[in-house]
Amino acid sequence: MEAIKQAPLKIIFILSLSMALALNACGQSKNDNQMALNMETVSKPKNPYYSHTDTTKLHLTDAEWKKILPEDLYEVSRHAATERPFTGKYWNADIKGTYYCAACGNELFRSEAKFASTCGWPSFFEQENKNSTVFRQDSSLGMIRTEVLCARCGGHLGHIFDDGPPPTGKRYCMNSIAMDFVPDTP
Ligand code: FE
């Protein structure tokens, strides 16, 4: 009888323990991710056009981009591929720093404009300056959306929607693969 009475308690205890372990695992991986981002550096030995200061517009052919970009970045930047949600490096990152175009180095967003979105992609409510991104209508996949492109290299970054937070109400929904992050120096 005692054993029967205790059974639900045991189940609750095991469930609580499992939840605590799961939450701890999530926290752990987020912390590990943040630590990795804090130490992130950018190195593009194959890409002579990459610069955080040169704002000259780039007009490369598809073949030239293919030669200098890693395959995953080439597919997103030049062929508008989309990374799977909740898989990118930056969707849940919240440390201070600057996001740049991974294809050309153009400054795109500051971390202060990033917000916690539930969509699984890094989301921002405003671009860093008027030279950061440009927009284009995208009617692929049977939807009318507004595509966000890098203003320097014309590379695909993601899409923009009108369901973002104040003050702009915009949500720049970006691919982590299309961006580099440089943490602020303390
Ligand atoms: Fe770019």
Q: b/e for 55-70, b at 16 or more Cβ within 10 A?
A: eeebebeeeebeebbe
- pLDDT at res. 186: 76
Q: Residue 1: pLDDT band by 50, 70, 90 thresholds? A: very low
Residue 27 has pLDDT above 50, yes or no: no
CA 150 to centroid of ligand 1, rounded, Å:
5
**30 band by pLDDT with thresholds 50, 70 and 90:** low
Residues 163 and 76 in one domain: yes
Q: Are residues 63 and 143 both part of a single domain?
A: yes
- For residue 173, indicate whether it is catalytic: yes
* 12-18 average pLDDT score: 48
Average of per-residue pLDDT values in the chain: 87
Q: Which of 101, 104, 153, 173 is catalytic?
A: 173
Contact 90, 99 (CB under 8 A): yes
Same domain? For 74 and 144 the reply is yes
Q: Which residues constitute the domain of residue 22?
A: 1-39
* Cα-to-centroid distance, 149 and ligand 1 (Å): 8
Examine the domain organization and report whether 88 and 109 are in the same domain: yes
What is the predicted pLDDT for the residue at 21? 41
pLDDT at residue 20, as a whole number: 45
Nearest to 178 by CA among 156, 148, 162, 151: 156
Q: How far is the CA of 115 from the centre of ligand 1 (A)?
A: 22
Q: What separation in Å is there between the alpha carbon of 45 and the centre of ligand 1?
A: 16
Ion ligand 1 residue ranges (Cβ < 5 Å): 101, 103-104, 106, 150, 152-153, 155
- On whether both 80 and 111 belong to a single domain, the answer is yes
Is residue 16 located within the same domain as residue 95?
no
Helical H segments across 40-143, by residue range: 62-68, 71-79
Residues 35 and 13 in one domain: yes
At 10, which helix (H) or strand (E)?
helix 2-38
Count Cβ atoms within 10 A of the Cβ of residue 51 and give its class: 0-12 exposed, 13-18 middle, 19 or more buried: middle
* Percentage with pLDDT > 70 across the chain: 82
Is 104 found in the same domain as 88?
yes
Into how many domains does the chain fold? 2
User: Do 111 and 128 have their domain in common?
Assistant: yes
Please check whether residues 91 and 170 belong to one and the same domain.
Answer: yes
Please tell me the predicted confidence (pLDDT) of residue 36: 75
Question: Quick one: average pLDDT of 156-164?
Answer: 97
* Ligand 1 center–CA 65 separation, angstroms: 11
- Residue 169, Ramachandran bin (φ over 0: left; ψ between -120 and 50: alpha; else beta): left
Does residue 33 sit in the same domain as residue 76? no
Assess whether 90 and 32 both reside in one domain: no
Q: 59 CA distance to ligand 1 centroid (A)?
A: 11
Q: Are 114 and 172 in contact (CB under 8 A)?
A: no
Give me the count of residues in the chain: 186
Task: Give the pLDDT band of residue 40 (cuts 50, 70, 90).
Answer: confident
